[in-house]
Amino acid sequence: MDFKQKVAEIIKQLENELTIEEIMSFIEIPPNSEMGDYAVPCFRFAKKYRKSPNIIAQDFVEKIGLTNEFEKIQNEGPYLNFFVNKKFFVKNVLEEVYEKKEKYGSTLEGKGKTVIVEFSSPNIAKPFHIGHIRTTVIGNSLYKIYKFLNYNAVAINHLGDYGTQFGMLISAYKKWGNKEIIEANPIPELLKLYVRFNKEADEKPEYRDEARYWFKELEEGNEEAKELWQWFRDVSLKEFSRVYKMLNVEFDSYAGESFYSDKMSRVIDELENKNLLQDSQGAKIVNLSEYNLTDALIKKSDGSTLYITRDIAAAIYRKETYDFYKNIYVVGSQQKLHFEQWLKIVELMGYEWAKDCEHVQFGMVSLEDGTLSTRKGKVVFLEDVLNKAINKTKEIIESRNPNLENKDEVASDVGVGAVIFQELFNNRIKDYVFSWDKTLSFEGETGPYVQYTYARTCSILSKSNTEISSRINYSILSDKLAFNVIKKIDGFSNAVLSAAERNEPYIITRFIVGLAQEFNRFYHECPILVDDNETKNARLLLTQSVNTVLKTGLNLLGMNAPVKM
């Protein structure tokens, strides 16, 4: 039962002109549980009844009377406060978790709808650095959340495998490259070439012309250029796959920018036919000044295309291929203008589904001594971050639990999980400074804390040697500590729905930290494996429910849940 819905139904019997949805929108959760579990402010009814909100609330209490679902309903000044029937509430929540298991919190809202989540999308032949972690873990979590809500979710890695940078790389390789050296250590060696090219091009501007020439050759199908490009792509993907494996990230499609190279002429023709293109010093642009946007460059004067052209082609392809309900792009906030431009162009082309495309922005990562810059070679490799986290976790395991089974696996789950959790703990739009100390901290509101709480529930359930049943005495779990845990569990579905609605995984991160904290308070005050079977069985059902929800929550963030730590 949805108790908030029940409150709305009770109020609707008194105020029939309001819809259930309208009533639900103004129901509040009191800041203190002593004031009730739900509250209805009565200010809005003052004009209608020409009475003070306090008197209206008192009148409502008398009209409602007694109900099975609420043990008492009372007015506190202008508020109508509902106190749920604890036994009724506890039974309702725990039976649902028991029956639904890992599906608890899921809904059918996504049935028959496709959501595309584009995320990660690193540039070929460049380092997979700490700056890529945000798009990768935010996108992976959103993908999992949408799947959990029964959407047909499609994870796309829109690889940066096209553009002038490949002209630079081809030119650099032809000048200074060594195939054997690159094969032995692909990304660092390709990065060296890229950095050297940019440095020397500052002194020799003709290098930039040479880079543009080679990219144009690549676009026009030059065999040598294509062969080098394919090799750069292959060795890069091999390197990237190691990091994706560590993060437990998988994609349904790796269709990057190059995939759309033969689909761009259609876009340009369509823009021409719809009179959206203008000439500008030999280049082709779309004038967006009347929409308070800078003009969008569609085709350079040398005939080569840009990101914006490929993004328009990609969106059209995705609509025609997947018929998406939502098409979301997990891309940094510094690309805001780019997305505003091409989405406006898609709208001007007459595609009403432009409104279903959404730029899910996130803040930038910088280092403690300045910003990241691939061009200058100033990067922190993501693989190094993850390995350092794993190694630190191994040291902690050796000092605290040296006899732990599967130490390497647990160290990986906890170390990588710590990095993911820290990334997903705050609102995604915030910029932040990457700090080793903060990332690898295992104290406070962290991933290891939640994972440890999950492992604690596993240990309790294992030691109990008892078959858990939902046929228990629910009144045993009506005390404040147990009830707070169960109230928290009851909020899981809303947390997941809110995370999807706002594309904010941190809502789930904060939720599972809160649940872990509530359970640990209960655990320290209320022994679970006691002699009294009635009490033990009731507390074991609560423990199993926490176990279920913590594991689901961790999985939705893209984290593993170790059984032992």
Residues with a catalytic annotation lie at 126, 129, 132
CA 438 – CA 443 distance, rounded (Å) = 10
CA 81 – CA 37 distance, rounded (Å) = 7
Q: What is the DSSP letter of 18?
A: S
Q: What is the DSSP letter of 528?
A: S
| Amino acid letter, residue 109 | E
How far, in Å, are 137, 143, 306, 477, 508 from residue 330 at the CA level? 10, 11, 20, 42, 18
For residue 106, the SS3 value is coil
CB 544 within 8 A of CB 92: no
Q: What is the distance in angstroms between the CA of the first residue and the CA of the last residue of the chain?
A: 36
CA 84 – CA 96 distance, rounded (Å) = 17
CA 232 – CA 369 distance, rounded (Å) = 31
For residue 192, the SS3 value is helix
Nearest to 346 by CA among 291, 279, 282, 302: 291
DSSP H helical ranges for 274-381: 307-322, 336-348
CA 498 – CA 508 distance, rounded (Å) = 9
CB 169 within 8 A of CB 163: no
CA 521 – CA 241 distance, rounded (Å) = 41
What are the φ and ψ backbone dihedral angles of 277, each rounded to 5 degrees?
-90, 145
Here the tokens at position 290 are 């009347």
For residue 40, the SS3 value is strand
CA angle 384, 564, 94 (to 5 degrees): 115
Classify burial at 21, counting beta carbons within 10 Å of its beta carbon; exposed 0-12, middle 13-18, buried 19 or more: exposed
DSSP sequence for 218-258: HHTT-HHHHHHHHHHHHHHHHHHHHHHHHHT---SB---GG
DSSP sequence for 365-419: EEETTEE-BTTTTB--BHHHHHHHHHHHHHHHHHHH-TT-TTHHHHHHHHHHHHH
CA 329 – CA 156 distance, rounded (Å) = 9
Neighbours of 355 (CB within 10 A): 10
